[in-house]
Amino acid sequence: MTRASRKVIEWPPVAVERWTPADRRLAEALRPADLPRHIAIIMDGNGRWARQHGYRDRIRGHEAGIEAVRQTTRTCASLGVDFLTLFSFSKENWQRPRREVLALMRLLQRFAVDERPELMESGIRLRVIGQLADLPAYARDALLETVRLTAANKATTLTLALSYGGRDEILRAARALAEAAAAGEIDPAQINEAGFAARLDTAGVPDPDLLIRTSGEMRVSNFLLWQIAYAEIHVSPVLWPDFRRRHLLESILDFQRRERRFGGVGTALPRWLAGPRNRP
């Protein structure tokens, strides 16, 4: 896909008029032609936020993080960012205490139901990736119903990665290719990157341009390992429940200061003078 496929929106967006003066200034500093098309976020720091605020129960941090999800999604839709992917629950998270896991599943169910009016009003489409069969039926059913209801929405696509692991995703794709080759459906010599990507959970979605991790941790935590090969990485010290519009805008501004080479030789011209780069 190329930048020509980006949706055309009014700039500055109408929603900016309702933002704080500080947020408006950040938005006005953005170059709309160089916005990331796909932003992925590792939402980290909920447990630490709960401890810092005197809560004994970590779930209070996850509950507080819903507002960060809401504001981040709204902002992406307002800016015209096409895709937002959130690392919501990893395969490894099943190892957490049963009480916390059950509380997270109930929170996920409430989010899927309570956010439907907001998603519909903002034109946001919901997708889910990962091993959804692992989720309890009440959470899975609520999510899939919201996916169905929002399927025709045309603004930002919000993808929740649930019971997800990057290595697991790659293994499942490799297994599918091996089975197809064993059945004589494909020639192993013809397998290429595009064919492999088509069997990933994210098939049909462009790779992330920008990966954001909150809470200051310097690791990718088994998230979108294939897809972030050329993503720019921004690490925010802010704990996820405190992540707000200004932090997202600052992350995008940092992204726009980078020179993306994709393995090639750099240019003496800044990216915004050299012109937009066509990307697969």
Closest alpha carbon to 280 in 4, 29, 12: 4
Distance CA 44, CA 236 (A): 10
Known catalytic residue: 222? no
Handedness of CA 36, 37, 42, 48 (dihedral sign): positive
Token representation of residue 175: 């297994």
Token representation of residue 138: 């009440």
Known catalytic residue: 44? yes
Distance CA 16, CA 24 (A): 6
Of the residues 34, 44, 207, 242, which is catalytic? 44
DSSP of 162-179, one letter per residue? Answer: EEE-HHHHHHHHHHHHHH
- Alpha carbon 188 to its chain centroid, in Å, reads 32
Of the residues 23, 34, 46, 93, which is catalytic? 93
The residue length of the chain stands at 280
- Tell how many helices (H) and how many strands (E) occur in the chain: 10, 6
Query: Which residues are catalytic, by number?
Result: 44, 93
